[in-house]
Amino acid sequence: MERKKATDQLIVSIHKETRAATLFVHTISEITKIHSTDIRCLEFLSEVHLATAGDLARATGLTTGAVTAMIDRLENAGFIKRERDKNDRRKTIVKLLGIPSKLKEVREMFSKQIPNILSGYTTEELQLIANWNMKMATIFHGKIKKLNDLK
């Protein structure tokens, strides 16, 4: 029964963290006046630096038309630059130019707390948590694909 209780607690904690993260992004969106999907796009670009419009569609779950509108907004705001792919002129490459200052402030405020939380874990535990998160991301992406196939 001990394992079942621990498993149940873990599942509840996952749901709580997911709801809190969603609310956090929504709150950041309200404070910065940047759409939450645009924030997710900027976060993705800060990880990968360059992406195609198709990459952004997959990362955000948006249609290609919605991605084009998002790219227009972010480019007009000066956060990204759109370039033609040198090898395939049909492709658009999106490059991050910078993170909006208000968004950067909020990210830094959040990031400052992370070392304190992580200091309570061993290196092995941190690797376990990172591995868990990567596996969960893979599962989510797989489920998203299956759900999209049902449309």
d(CA 56, CA 59): 5
Provide the pLDDT for residue 91: 86
d(CA 49, CA 138): 21
Has residue 17 got a pLDDT over 80? Answer: yes
> What tens digit of pLDDT does each residue of 114-140 get?
999 999 999 999 999 999 999 999 998
d(CA 110, CA 72): 28
d(CA 38, CA 85): 22
Has residue 80 got a pLDDT over 90? Answer: yes
Task: Provide the CATH topology of domain 2-100.
Answer: Arc Repressor Mutant, subunit A (1.10.10)
Domain ranges of the chain: 2-100, 113-151
- Percentage with pLDDT > 90 across the chain: 63
Provide the pLDDT for residue 37: 92
Half-sphere exposure of 66 (CA within 13 A, CB side): 13
Provide the pLDDT for residue 144: 84
Nearest by Cα to 53 from 65, 40, 37: 65
CB–CB of 78/97 below 8 Å?
Answer: yes
Q: Token pair of 146, please?
A: 């299956």
Beta bridge partners of 20: none
> What tens digit of pLDDT does each residue of 41-65 get?
999 999 999 999 999 998 888 988 9
- pTM for the whole thing? 0.79
> What tens digit of pLDDT does each residue of 81-94 get?
999 888 888 888 99
